[in-house]
Amino acid sequence: MKLNVPSLSQTEFWSQAEVRLPQFDLPAMVRATREAPVWVHFGAGNIFRGFIARLQQNLLEQGLSDKGIVAADTFDYDIIRKIYRPYDNLTLLVSLMPDGRMEKEIVAGVAEGLCADPSDAADMGRLAEIFRNPSLQMVSFTITEKGYALTNLKGEFFPFVQADFDRGPQQCSHAMSMVTALLFARYQAGAAPIAMCSMDNCSHNGEKLRASVLTVAGKWQEAGFVPAEFVRWLSDEQQVSFPWSMIDKITPRPAPVVLEALQALGLEEMDPIITSRNTYIAPFVNAEAPQYLVVEDRFPNGRPPLEKAGVYMTDRDTVNNTERMKVTTCLNPLHTALAVYGCLLGYDTIAAEMRDGSLKALVEHIGYDEGMPVVTDPKIIRPMDFIHEVIDQRLPNPFMPDTPQRIATDTSQKVGIRFGETIKSYLASPALDVKDLTYIPLAIAGWMRYLLAVDDNGQPMTCSSDPMLAQLQEQLASVTFGAPERYDGQLRPILSNPNVFGTDLVAAGLAGRIEEMFCRMLAGPGAVRATLDAYL
């Protein structure tokens, strides 16, 4: 059996395969969406397919909407051409439960898949048509934090971004330029209000999106491509809002064990592909079951009733507090600690790490002992319930094929939030002493040791991609594995850099402890394990 719309009529097959089918009129939804679209989403990858598209399906099945989502991709057009269109925009979602069960369902919340490709006149024309339609209420994004970036680490505009500034809205290549050009089409068609809602997993995501769009529009105004009135319209959040959000659901790359299970059921053409942009993606999405989406409720043209699908619709402060709870205390710091030590110790899944007594104790100490005293309580989700779910259910799930190598990506961009914010909270508290911290320094020392690209067996190790990797490794080039006595303060320029950690760890009084831990881990093969065991 192949995954497509005609196959949905084969209800007996899907029932025997224990796959839940969509419970709404799919052709009617596609027609209604084409006539009066309400939601466009940029970023057609797994978090969208396995979470966000399912939200709209939930509303369709409740009879609370008759429209689907128009999915577009600004980066990897093979996703649309090879994963969406051949399968009639359907996704097979496989939820991996901690007891080993696979809960399977077909997600059909997508009405249309489009390539935001400047060389594809038909799809770009369709996107412009949708943006001109006053029925459009919201545009959401999961394009990763890099998708909003206009400048390099030196603050210089990327050459392709500068080219978009020079050419104007008719010839765009960057995601933010294309989105701004589509908003200009909407402005020209009557300037109906709209919400631009980033759902990417980064702090203040709506602020990042707004800043990039306004920068592009401002440059175009300076060059005479757009009028000042357009920029004023974009700047008025009563007309164009940029809600903040917090999203949380792990949707790792397709797992072989899931593919084998689907093939055993008789499903055909489920194999993953590697796109021309090196995306590893399949017609199915395997994901954990827990999921959270908290959205600032500012939608000037109305919105779908997302709260009926389990979304927390609230104010900006609550969104910010929920994101801060997750990113600085209850999940992300634990992930980063597991990532660097998992790479050093040769683990290939997070779940396997959680069966290691020392590593499990490490994240428990970081979360419960050092993080929870300064945790931000968003009120809508209890921090202690959230972190218990993370430590007791989500991280140990043996059927989640998530890897420390994936999570170790871009660590230099993460540690300032994941560890630095807790350190700053200790520094600001009259009741707490930052020098009492042990396990966060141990995680930082582990990252420093990881940067040497030598595992705990003394063998060469490949570090995950990171924009600061070359710079950091150059600063540590004179550190010698197996010779801790030769250490001569090479960590100090890194530890004192507030651009990395959000604060100066030398001035905070933590450098000495981190250096001591780091040097213990330099002693030779097995020293990382010995250091962990000594502290835990």
Structure confidence at residue 528 (pLDDT): 98
pLDDT, mean of each 10-residue run, the chain (536 residues): 98 98 98 98 97 98 98 97 98 94 97 96 97 98 93 89 97 96 98 98 93 98 98 98 97 93 97 95 96 98 98 98 96 97 97 97 98 98 98 92 92 94 97 98 98 98 94 96 96 96 97 98 98 96
Q: Which residues pair with 154 in a beta bridge?
A: none
Let me know: does 169 contact 180? Beta carbons within 8 Å: yes
Residue 70, φ and ψ in degrees, nearest 5: -90, 115
Structure confidence at residue 145 (pLDDT): 85
Nearest in space to 330 (alpha carbons), one of 376, 386, 250: 386
Cα-based angle 13, 17, 23 (whole degrees, multiple of 5) = 75
pLDDT tens by residue, 265-279: 999 999 999 999 999
Is the entire prediction scored with pTM above 0.85? yes
Residue 417 and residue 421: Cα distance in Å, rounded? Answer: 5
Structure confidence at residue 437 (pLDDT): 98
Classify burial at 462, counting beta carbons within 10 Å of its beta carbon; exposed 0-12, middle 13-18, buried 19 or more.
exposed
Residue 298 and residue 413: Cα distance in Å, rounded? Answer: 29
Structure confidence at residue 473 (pLDDT): 97
Structure confidence at residue 153 (pLDDT): 67
DSSP letter at 249 equals: -
Rounded CA Rg of the chain: 24
Determine which helix (DSSP H) or strand (DSSP E) holds 290, and give its type and residue range.
none
Tallying the residues shown for the chain, one arrives at 536
Residue 90 and residue 92: Cα distance in Å, rounded? Answer: 7
Residue 288 and residue 291: Cα distance in Å, rounded? Answer: 8
Token couple for 6: 């005609």
pLDDT tens by residue, 437-461: 999 999 999 999 999 999 999 999 9
Structure confidence at residue 505 (pLDDT): 98
